Amino acid sequence: MITKWEAYDSIGFFYLKVTRFPKTFIKIMANVKLLFCGSEKSETDSISVECFYNGHNEITIRIDEGENSKIALVSLDKETAIKFCKELRKSIALID
């Protein structure tokens, strides 16, 4: 039996398509919000970062510094997001 998994993203909604036979599939829709929080060591655990596709062929990064604070947004086109990802990977490689 061949099983094929595919994931789709449509403005914050993720669709999972599981294909087992040519015309049989299960479609599951989930509303997912993934937040990354700062570390306790750096005392930034009250700050959260969210990354999502904004529907305009851009990735938006939202930084929330907690209650009663400003929210910073930056939207990156595909090429810039790829470059950002590469730089982030290089920085991660430097962590002990």
Same domain? For 26 and 40 the reply is no
Amino acid at 58: E
Residues 63, 22 share a domain: no
Q: How far apart are CA 33 and CA 86, in angstroms?
A: 23
The residue segments making up the domain with residue 2 are 1-32
Alpha-carbon Rg for the chain in angstroms: 18
Strands (E), the chain: 4-10, 13-21, 24-31, 35-37, 48-53, 59-64, 71-76
Residue 41, pLDDT above cutoff 70: yes
Confidence of residue 4 (pLDDT cuts 50, 70, 90): very low
Q: Do 43 and 89 fall within a single domain? A: yes
| Together in a domain, 77 and 46 | yes
Look at residue 30 and tell me whether its pLDDT is greater than 70.
no
- Of residues 85 and 15, more confidence is placed in 85
Q: What is the pLDDT of residues 66-87, one digit of tens each?
A: 777 888 999 999 999 999 999 9
* Statement to judge: residues 63 and 84 lie in one domain: yes
